[in-house]
């Protein structure tokens, strides 16, 4: 995936960095290569950090935090939830929608 970018990135003065550390560091610093080029903070999974073990579809307060105005489920990149958590949230939202606890869409 990053095969295309790596040489160019290394050329920008990242000597002696391991292949693993490179990606992490890059996220903290500004994005190189002229793509994006703005500061981007690394998002962390809200559910993991708050230690929510079971995402309940009845807990609308929690689910509404993941639903913007249009009531659509947003992709993972918007919230930074980890894959297992996003899956849990998704199923919970679908269930809550079916039981009319959460709207499918707003006008």
Partner 1 sequence: MSQRQYEILFIAEQNLGEPEVDTLTSTVKGFIEKENGTVEKVEKWGKKRLAYPIGKNREGSYVLMIANAPGSSISEVERRMRVTDGILRFLAIRIDAEMKKADRKKTIRGKKESTRRASVREKDRAYEGGAQ
Inter-residue contact 68 to 103 (CB < 8 Å): no
Closest CB to partner 1 among residues 15, 107: 107
- Which region, left, alpha or beta, applies to residue 51 given φ > 0 means left and ψ of -120 to 50 means alpha? left
From residue 44 to residue 73, the character string flagging contacts with partner 1 as x (rule: CB under 8 A) and all else as - is: -------x-xx--xx---------------
99 interacts with partner 1 by CB under 8 A: yes
Query: Which residue in the block uniquely carries the two structure tokens 């903290």?
Result: 28
Least gap, CB of 79 to partner 1 (angstroms) = 21
Q: How far lies 1's CA from each of 5, 42, 82, 84, 105, in Å? A: 8, 19, 20, 23, 36
Least gap, CB of 64 to partner 1 (angstroms) = 11
12 interacts with partner 1 by CB under 8 A: no
Question: Which stretches of the chain bind partner 1, using CB under 8 A?
Answer: 51, 53-54, 57-58, 95, 97-104
């Amino acid at each position: 995936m990053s095969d295309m970018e790596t040489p160019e990135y290394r050329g920008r003065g990242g000597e002696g960095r391991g292949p693993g550390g490179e990606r992490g560091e890059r996220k903290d610093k500004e994005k190189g290569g002229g793509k994006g080029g703005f500061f981007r903070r690394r998002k962390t999974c809200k559910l993991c950090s708050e230690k929510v073990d079971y995402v309940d579809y009845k807990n609308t307060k929690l689910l509404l935090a993941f639903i913007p105005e249009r009531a659509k489920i947003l992709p993972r990149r918007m919230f930074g939830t980890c894959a297992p958590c996003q899956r849990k949230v998704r199923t919970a939202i679908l269930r809550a929608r079916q039981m009319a606890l959460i709207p499918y869409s707003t006008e």
